[in-house]
Amino acid sequence: MRSAERCLPLALMPALVAMLGACATLDAPAPPAPAAPAVVAAAAPAPAPASAPAAAPVSTPPTTPPPPRVPAAVQAQFEQALQAQRAGRSDEAERALRVLALAHPELGGVHANLGLILRKAGRTEEAVAALERAVQASPEQPLYFNELGIAYRIGGQFAKAREAYERALELDAGYAAATLNLGILYDLYLGDGAKALELYDRYLALAPAGDAAVTKWAADLRQRKPAPQSAINVQVAKGGKETP
């Protein structure tokens, strides 16, 4: 059975600090991002994840105004919330992020990190709401759409999950994690093995180190006979038995 979606680790990597706002820059540079583990959706401050090939550069019109800066005090509050979460003090981190979200609703990174905490706690509806606010504040961040897609999937909103993953890929066609998550969605929840196979193959092309599990899934799909619709319905009803 397929494993759970590829998503950001709940440790809330330092790279997310650099994505605190939708288009905001920081008063001081963020610390360099650590190397991303294989299961991480992305760990670079740029929209494209570190594990995926870089997207083709897009020139910025010279008339584009400079992005606003995040005040140092707000940055410090955000970092304190991340430190609380890293230390396992999820309640404290949630409270701090809620205060920031109320005071600075324009900062997508605050809503996104709050959504991760809520999703981990099993509070799916609240997580969806927070991640929806994240993509509204930061509509050009594919990471947030990937995380929103996972939350939608957990809540059984498969059509919305598909739209969120597809939006992430519109923003970054080389986003390996969203490609894989969309493939899993088509495979286990939408009953479209052909589309799932296409996405698994695309994901493997984006994973130069390979992925033995996904290679096996793709091989299984090539050998699989079309399942009766009744069997697909049973599989979806059971939730695919994904492993966290």
Cα dist from 231 to 196, 197, 198, 199, 222, whole Å: 17, 19, 22, 22, 18
Give the HSE-up count for residue 187: Cα atoms under 13 Å, Cβ half-sphere: 28
10-residue mean pLDDT series, the chain (244 residues): 54 42 35 32 32 34 52 92 92 96 94 96 97 97 97 98 98 97 97 97 94 95 74 50 34
Contact in structure between 183 and 213 (CB atoms under 8 Å):
no
pLDDT for residue 69 = 75
pLDDT for residue 127 = 98
pLDDT for residue 71 = 87
Please write down the long-range contacts of 46-51, taking CB distance under 8 Å and 24 or more positions apart: 47/140, 47/141, 47/142, 47/143, 47/171, 47/172, 48/142, 48/172, 48/174, 48/175, 49/143, 49/172, 49/175, 49/176, 49/177, 51/176, 51/177, 51/207
For 243, the 3-state DSSP assignment is strand
Q: Helix, strand, coil % (nearest 5) of the chain?
A: 55, 5, 40
pLDDT for residue 224 = 84
Q: φ, ψ for residue 15 (rounded to 5)?
A: -60, -30
pLDDT for residue 195 = 97
Cα distance between residue 11 and residue 60, in whole Å: 33
Cα distance between residue 167 and residue 204, in whole Å: 20
Task: Please name the helix (run of DSSP H) or strand (run of DSSP E) that holds residue 25, with its range, or none.
Answer: strand 25-26
The pair of structure tokens assigned to 156 is: 């059984």
Return the residue matching tokens 């019109």.
Answer: 61
